Each structure stands twice: as C-alpha cells, then as structure tokens.
C-alpha cells in the first residue's frame, strides 16, 4: 500500500492558499497540502513531524513571508540534517532572476512563479504533485 503524500506549503496569503488548494482538488488530489503562514511555523511543524516520523515529501515556500521569509527558511532547512533531504520549491510572484538564482544556489530544487489564472494554478498544482511523487 502506497503511503499518502504530503506537501508543506508556507504562504501568508490566505487567498493564495485557497486558490492552490482548489487547484489541487480540480486535478483530483485532496488532503495532501498542509498550510502554514511563515518560516517559523514551517520549522515548528517539521519538528512535530520529525518526532512522529512523518516528514512531508515536499516543502513549498513563498518567498515573501513575515517573521522568516522563504530564503531564510530555506537556509535553516538546508542546515538541518533532518530536513535537508526534503526538496524545497520556492513559490513566488517575483520574476527577479537574481532572487531565483540565489534560491537555487542555496539549495532550492526549483523556483516556480505563482499563477495568475486558475488554469495556470492547476498546472502549478500538477507540477508540485508530480515533483512530490517523483522526488520521494
């Protein structure tokens, strides 16, 4: 029996959370996403998961979050032996190539630009799900 896949998605924008959750449902994937609002919550949730032995297969980080942004969170994840093996995708509205290149240099698997249309969001959901299943 295949274990259920899990994606941790950190984004402080509730509307963006709702849209990506709807996009996942639209592609036929339910109950795979766990949302947190910032990098501090990413680390706290992962601590709980590590204690339970239930780490997610993929972490998706918004670049611009309060308290601890995506870049800072990425650095902390890649410094921690327990979490560095989990692929991280940066998920942002920023088209800045310097930011993208820096995130990849710091260990992000990839950098995905947030969709504008719902169709784009569905394609992103499919990409994230495929990445989750291929890399785990």
Please, is 52 exposed, middle or buried when counting C-beta atoms within 10 Å of its C-beta (0-12, 13-18, 19+)?
exposed
> Could you give all domains of the chain from N- to C-terminal order, each with its CATH number?
7-135 (3.40.50.2300)
94 falls in which pLDDT band (50, 70, 90)?
Answer: confident
Neighbouring CB atoms inside 10 A of 101's CB total 11
pLDDT digits (tens, 9 = 90+) for 32-77: 999 999 999 999 999 999 999 899 999 999 999 998 999 999 999 9
At 3 the pLDDT is: 52
Check pLDDT > 60 for residue 1: no
The Cα-based distances of 132 to 9, 109, 136 in angstroms read 12, 11, 6
Check pLDDT > 70 for residue 5: yes
Name the token pair of 89: 């995708």
At 132 the pLDDT is: 85
Average pLDDT over residues 66-92: 95
């Amino acid at each position: 029996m295949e274990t259920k896949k899990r994606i941790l998605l950190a984004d402080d924008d509730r509307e963006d959370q709702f849209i990506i959750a709807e996009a996942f449902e639209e592609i036929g994937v339910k109950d795979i996403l766990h949302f947190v609002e910032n990098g501090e919550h990413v680390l706290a949730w992962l601590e709980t998961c590590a204690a339970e032995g239930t780490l997610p297969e993929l972490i998706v980080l918004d670049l611009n979050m309060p308290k601890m942004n995506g870049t800072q969170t990425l650095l902390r994840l890649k410094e921690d032996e327990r979490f560095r093996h989990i692929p991280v995708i940066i998920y942002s509205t920023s088209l800045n190539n310097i930011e993208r290149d820096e995130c990849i240099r710091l260990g992000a698997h990839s950098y995905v630009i947030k969709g504008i249309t719902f169709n784009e969001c569905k394609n992103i959901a499919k990409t994230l799900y495929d990445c989750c299943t291929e890399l785990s």
